Amino acid sequence: MEKTILILNTGGTLSSVMKENGLAPGLTTTDIQKELHMVSQGVNLEMQDFWSVDSANIFPEDWAALAGKIADIWQDYDGIVVIHGTDTMAYTSSMLSFMLLNISIPVVLTGSQLSMADPVADAMENLRCAIHFAATGCAGVYVAFNRKVMLGCRTSKVRSLSFDAFDSINYPEAARISSLGMRVNEAVLPRRSGVFHLENAYSDRVFLLKMFPGIHREILRSLAGAGYQGIYIEAYGMGGMPFLKHDFIAEIADLTAQGITVLVGTQCRYEGSTLSVYETGRRALEAGCLQAFDMTGEAALTKLMWVLGKTKDPQEIRDYFSVSLCSEVSVGVY
């Protein structure tokens, strides 16, 4: 029996056309559907336009709306493909992983580095991969790109021009297409831990702060004064932050005492952070920091937004960051 797959178009490069001010979303699902007969054999496709924007214009309220749309219609389909711009796709796929926790069908995001209007584009190959993975029945949220499928909460855009734009960070790929066909790595697929129901509340009072030599602790005071509820710090190496000339960590202790959540990860793309090795990290733990371990920056930030949308209780927040919800983190692995 043919699987029925829905394609939701949200815009991005894949559906872009050249306009007066440069490439901008312009192709509709009707335009796209005319091209898809070559890549959708054995699958019944339905298509809907959800919105049509460059992904730089997507905000948290759009994630909530997209998750709500999927929650409303998912039972009518065997899988859902979301066409999305590449620039913020990893943020969207990470947040959907939390908002659609325990969904029992595949939700696969894809896009392209060249518009499908370009004859040498990667668009159709990415759509082929996304459509056929969506037909596998492998539940969860994924990104399909350049003949590989990655968990949505483990995906980062690592190249700005190459067709191989995305990597699975600190985690094996969910599937790969080669001359042997599509090979699914079932051992790494997310495991459902309950019944699906939409959880698309979030806090947008979250800030991403990247450490650099010379950063002053007053920035933390200003963030607290501006009403931020959570701060994700991309620290050095395994989680290092200054505590001598400028005692950044002492300022963090003041924030956590005020009930502000401070999550610490690393600027390094691979291998993650641990705060228990060096003195600076141990001081951060004593100051009340939570650890991001091997999460991607996108997953760490969106998990913080999602958790703060569920609870403001410090112990409950700490509990959420002590477990893996959708294979987004290997807690305490290092």
Please report the DSSP string for 269-310 in residue order. SSS---SSSSHHHHHHHHTT-EE-TT--HHHHHHHHHHHHHH
Q: Give how many domains the chain has, as a whole number.
A: 2
Residues 116 and 9 grouped into a single domain: yes
pTM > 0.85: yes or no: yes
Residues 229 and 103 grouped into a single domain: no
Residues 156 and 222 grouped into a single domain: no
DSSP code per residue over 196-244: ----------EEEEE--TT--THHHHHHHHTT-SEEEEEEBTTTB---S
Q: Examine the fold and report which residue of 188, 216, 234 is the final residue of a domain before the chain moves on.
A: 188
Banded model confidence at residue 333, pLDDT cuts 50, 70, 90: very low
- 325 within a domain of the structure (yes/no): no
Banded model confidence at residue 42, pLDDT cuts 50, 70, 90: confident
CATH number of the structural domain spanning residue 281: 3.40.50.40
Mean pLDDT of 57-79: 97
Residues 160 and 249 grouped into a single domain: no
Residues 231 and 98 grouped into a single domain: no
Banded model confidence at residue 14, pLDDT cuts 50, 70, 90: confident
pLDDT at 68: 98
Q: Examine the fold and report which residue of 188, 220, 246 is the final residue of a domain before the chain moves on.
A: 188
Mean pLDDT of 188-200: 94
Read off the pLDDT of residues 266-287 as tens digits, 9 standing for 90 and up: 999 999 999 999 889 999 999 9
Mean pLDDT of 96-105: 98
Q: Examine the fold and report which residue of 188, 218, 234 is the final residue of a domain before the chain moves on.
A: 188
Q: Which domain holds residue 78?
A: 3-188
pLDDT at 21: 65
In the block, tokens 């595949």 appear at 106
Residues 145 and 257 grouped into a single domain: no
- 145 within a domain of the structure (yes/no): yes
Banded model confidence at residue 97, pLDDT cuts 50, 70, 90: very high
Phi then psi for residue 287, to 5 deg, are -80, -5
Q: The dihedral of CA 178, 13, 302, 282: what is its sign?
A: positive
pLDDT at 116: 77
The alpha carbon of residue 2 and the mean position of all alpha carbons in its chain are separated, in whole angstroms, by 30
pLDDT at 334: 40
Residues annotated as part of the active site: 13, 86-87, 157, 278
